Amino acid sequence: MRAAYIEELGPAEVIRYGEIAAPRPGPTDVLVDVLATTVNPVDTFVRSGRFPTQVDFPFVVGRDLVGMVAEAGPGVSGFRAGDRVWCNSLGHGGRQGAAAEQAVVAADRLYHLPAGVDPDAAVAAFHPAATAYLALFVHGRLRVGESVLIAGAAGNVGSALVTMAARAGARVLATAGARDAPYCAELGAAEVFDYRDPEVTGRIRRAAPSGIDLYLDTAGVNDLETTVGLLARRGRVVLLAGARTRPVLPAGELYLHDRSIVGFVISHATPDELAEAAAYLNDLLGRGALHPRGIEVFPLSATADVHARMEKGELHGRRVVLRTDLGCAG
Ligand SMILES: NC(=O)c1ccc[n+]([C@@H]2O[C@H](COP(=O)([O-])OP(=O)(O)OC[C@H]3O[C@@H](n4cnc5c(N)ncnc54)[C@H](OP(=O)(O)O)[C@@H]3O)[C@@H](O)[C@H]2O)c1
């Protein structure tokens, strides 16, 4: 089969596109004919070695796929040849990746794609949307009626956070570029603040005088010195971006108000957590309530180029879908 794979960790140029041996499913695995995959920031971290994880060479890159079941192992129930399926946890932790014509997926990491859902839009949505779900509901412990501040609300993760938090009955405050304010409001943000406005902190404080219950910064600025002071009693910060930041932490303002900060990466989510997120995503996708803002479609052979463009910052938040020949034909 053809795949985008690496023989060593390194820059985008180490990704090759060519023939490697097709994988075989174990007893509790499913062999999937891949229609499409995508590229996430974390795929570049795995490829470069910046996110340390077990990779076995030749290593197929890529985390997410949409495809069709080719064959299910004898111990698998619930999946049959021809079913349209998806996965968002390949390509790390000792699992081979999704950027190939075929992929083996453990049955407990595979989900049905709801009828009528566009595979390109779906594969572009899985990673940021599952991240948003886990950040809000598992790590952020969001409850109805709470106030949530989402920084970077117009981005891939941010827009999914706004959508989900608003649907969960939270009051959503958002920061975004001024031109993105209408988009964030459309997604459900009650108030949107221009992150370039020097008065933004004061404006947020006035909009949430009792404090913010949950704060998520997808832009990875991680200005904890300011953020912690904006929190309500028992307010939480979920850190999920900005790995290289070294914020100043006002300790008294944190512990004297029972406030807390937790870190989270989707890469450590358990199969049960991922399945819970998948059920929620499938519900949103089935209702047409989850839309990537912009998609570019390329053949799978463009994987190295897309990694390079993402690392140079040339994608500006646009999602890229990489289709196999099967995906192009369908
Ligand atoms: N922890 C995890 O498991 C996990 C999973 C997925 C992604 N991530 C991380 O999440 C981050 C966001 O990913 P993404 O795909 O959502 O990126 P994205 O689509 O580029 O979104 C980032 C957004 O932040 C905005 N922004 C930039 N500077 C800002 C500031 N100072 N204040 C507020 N907003 C600002 C950008 O607006 P402009 O267009 O105006 O610049 C953009 O809309 C990345 O660092 C990624 O690695 C983490």
**pLDDT computed for residue 291 by the predictor:** 87
Same domain? For 161 and 254 the reply is: yes
- 177 and 48 in a single domain? The answer is no
Contact 103, 23 (CB under 8 A): yes
Is the CB of residue 324 below 6 angstroms from any atom belonging to ligand 1? no
**Ligand 1 contacts CB of residue 134 (under 6 A):** no
- pLDDT for residue 261: 98
* CB of 175 shorter than 6 A to ligand 1: yes
193 and 96 both lie in a single domain: no
pLDDT of residue 329: 81
Asked whether residue 273 is assigned to any structural domain, the reply reads no
Question: 98, 63 in Cβ contact below 8 A?
Answer: yes
CA gap 17, 20 in Å, rounded: 9
- Domain annotation covers residue 233: yes
250 and 137 fall within a common domain: yes
CA 311: distance to chain centroid?
Answer: 17
Q: 142 and 193, same structural domain? A: yes
| Amino acid occupying residue 161 | L
Q: What is residue 327's predicted lDDT score, i.e. its pLDDT? A: 87
Q: How many domains does the chain have?
A: 2
Q: Which atom of ligand 1 is nearest to the CA of 176?
A: 34
Are residues 109 and 131 both part of a single domain?
A: no
241 Cβ inside 6 Å of ligand 1: yes
The CATH code of the domain that includes 82 is 3.90.180.10
SS3 125: helix
Residue 261 phi, psi dihedral angles, 5° rounding: -130, 125
Does any domain span residue 274?
no
d(CA 42, CA 63): 9
Residue 263 lies inside a defined structural domain of this protein: yes
Q: Where in the sequence is the domain holding 188, given as residue range(s)?
A: 127-267
Claim to verify: residue 107 and residue 135 sit in the same structural domain: no
Gyration radius from the chain CA atoms: 20
25-76 tens-digit pLDDT = 999 999 999 999 999 999 999 999 999 999 999 999 999 999 999 999 999 9
Q: From the CA of 230, how far away is ligand 1's center (Å)?
A: 20
Domain at 259, CATH number: 3.40.50.720
Query: Among 51, 203, 218, 307, which residue has the most ligand 1 atoms within 8 Å of its CB, making it the best to mutate?
Result: 218
Sequential pLDDT tens for the chain (330 residues): 999 999 999 999 999 999 999 999 999 999 999 999 999 999 999 999 999 999 999 999 999 999 999 999 999 999 999 999 999 999 999 999 999 999 999 999 999 999 999 999 999 999 999 999 999 999 999 999 999 999 999 999 999 999 999 999 999 999 999 999 999 999 999 999 999 999 999 999 999 999 999 999 999 999 999 999 999 999 999 999 999 999 999 999 999 999 999 999 999 999 999 999 999 999 999 999 998 999 999 999 999 999 999 999 999 889 999 999 998 886
Answer yes or no: is 278 within a domain. no
pLDDT in the model for residue 284? 98
Which pTM value belongs to this model? 0.98
Residue 72 lies in a domain: yes
Pairing of strands 111-112, 84-87: antiparallel
CB 41 less than 6 A from any atom of ligand 1: yes
Stated length of the chain: 330
